[in-house]
Amino acid sequence: QVQLQESGPGLVKPSQTVSLSCTVSGGSINSGNYYWTWIRQPAGKGLEWIGRISASGSTNYNFSLTSRVTISLDASKNQFSLTLSSVTAADTAVYYCARGYGHFDYWGQGTLVTVSS
Amino acid sequence: EVVLTQSPATLSLSPGERATLSCRASQSISSYLVWYQQKPGQAPRLLINDASNRATGIPARFSGSGSGTDFTLTISTLEPEDFALYYCQQRSDWPPTFGGGTKVEIK
C-alpha cells in the first residue's frame, strides 16, 4: 500500500521561501511511469494543482505559479519536494502531495503552511 | 484553462435518499473527468475516473456519467459516511483544474 507523508515548517514569513517534502513509502518513487504531484487548498476553498514531477525528473508547473515553484525528486530518500518562493498570505493553505499524472489515487494527509509575520 | 462549475453548492438529503451532483465544464473535456470525496480534516479520496470508472474499493452505490461538458455523480442510496464534500476535476486540458465542490449534508 503506497503511503505519502508531507513535512514542512508550518509558519513562514512573507517574502520568504518555503520548502516542503513528501516521503513515499510502500513503493519506489522512481519505478514505473508514475508522476508525483503537489496540490494545495486554502482554508474553506477549493483545490489548486501546483505541479508534478515524473520518476525521471521531468516537471510541469501551473502557469499561475511557474515563476515561483520548483519541484524536485530525491530517489535516495524516496522523497519529492516543493519549493515556493516569495510567499504571500495568498499562499496560506494546506499542501497535499499525491501520486498521479491526470488523476490522483494516493494522497498525503496534508500539511498546513501559514504565511504570516 | 478549463473552468468546472459544480451544482448545487449544497445538497441537503437524508440517509437512504439518492444524491445527484452536477459538474459542467467550460469546454469539452471528452470523458476526462474525475470525482473525489473529501471529509473534514482529510485528504480527497479518488472515487471515479474517466467519468464513469469507479476506483478500487469504491462501493457500487457511487456512479458517474456524462461526456463532453456535462457530468453527473450519483449516489444511489446515501449512507451516513457519504455526507461529505465532493469535487470534480478535469484531466483533459493543462493544467488540471478542480470544481468548487458540492457539499452533501444531512437534512
B55 DSSP assignment: P
- How do the pLDDT tens digits run along chain A, 117 residues long? 899 999 999 999 999 999 999 999 999 998 878 999 999 999 888 999 999 999 989 999 999 999 999 999 999 999 999 999 999 999 999 999 999 999 999 999 999 999 999
CA distance A56 to B46: 25
Nearest residue of A to residue B50, measured between CA atoms: A103
Buried residues in A1-16 as b, exposed as e (16+ CB within 10 A): eeebebebeeebeeee
CA distance B104 to B77: 13
Residue A104: its chain B contacts at CB < 8 A? 36, 44, 46
Mean pLDDT value across chain B: 97
The residues in B 27-56 lying below 8 A from A, measured between CB atoms, are 32, 34, 36, 42-46, 49, 55
Cβ(A69)–Cβ(A18) under 8 Å?
no
Query: In whole angstroms, how far apart are CA A23 and each of A30, A79, B40, B46?
Result: 13, 4, 23, 20
Low-confidence ranges of chain B (pLDDT < 50): none
CA distance A18 to A34: 25
Mutate: best of B33, B91, B103, partner A, most A CBs <10 A: B91
At A33 the pLDDT is: 84
Residue B93: its chain A contacts at CB < 8 A? none
At A32 the pLDDT is: 76
Inter-residue long-range contacts of B46-50, CB under 8 Å, 24+ positions, other chains counted: B46/A103, B46/A104, B46/A105, B47/B73, B47/B86, B48/B73, B49/A103
